[in-house]
């Protein structure tokens, strides 16, 4: 079986610590795939906020829609772990971009990679109910990561 290969960027301008909650653990005793997506969502919201953006700006009717996602699981995680989630933007086009994620945890004085992922983000106009162009200033700030 071929595994998903995600080419991550060399640098990640943003990171956030997110603790693993008990509800993130599945019947197998480790963090479930649904929890990883939720943690990525939290990191994405925080990354966008750090740049002065929202995933959904209700007043402006503008937002981002996740068009696709790919996750490569690299290691197990458990309740009590604290994830360090790294986020970077790249692969820009006229209507969106990709966000890349590296999720790690510290265990026994070692950094363990838990997952690598990417999400395809599309700009969306909620008033007109159609995709919208990526604003040049947003692209510039996403590229710089600050």
Considering the domain boundaries, does residue 86 fall inside one?
A: yes
User: Containing domain of residue 112, as a range?
Assistant: 14-144
- Whether the per-residue pLDDT at 146 is higher than 80: the answer is no
Based on the number of CB atoms within 10 Å of its own CB, is 115 exposed (0-12), middle (13-18) or buried (19 or more)?
A: buried
Considering the domain boundaries, does residue 2 fall inside one?
A: no
> pLDDT averaged over the chain?
93
| CATH at residue 69 | 3.10.129.10
CA distance 126 to 68: 19
Tell me the pLDDT tens digit for each residue of 26-82: 999 999 999 999 999 999 999 999 999 989 887 777 899 999 999 999 999 999 999
Contact (CB, 8 A) for 127 and 61: yes
- Whether the per-residue pLDDT at 103 is higher than 70: the answer is yes
């Amino acid at each position: 079986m071929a595994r998903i290969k995600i080419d991550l960027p060399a640098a990640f301008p943003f990171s956030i610590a997110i603790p693993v909650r008990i509800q993130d653990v599945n019947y197998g005793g480790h963090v479930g795939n649904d929890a990883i997506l939720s943690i990525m969502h939290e990191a994405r919201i925080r990354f966008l906020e750090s740049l002065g953006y929202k995933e959904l700006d209700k007043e402006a009717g503008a937002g981002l829609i996740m068009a696709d996602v790919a996750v490569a699981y690299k290691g197990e995680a458990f309740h009590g772990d604290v994830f360090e989630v790294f986020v970077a933007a790249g692969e820009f086009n006229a209507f969106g971009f990709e966000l890349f994620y590296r999720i790690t945890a510290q265990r026994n004085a070692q950094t363990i990679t838990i997952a690598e992922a990417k999400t395809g983000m599309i700009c969306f106009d909620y008033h007109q109910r159609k995709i919208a162009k990526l604003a040049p200033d947003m692209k510039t700030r996403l590229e710089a990561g600050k």
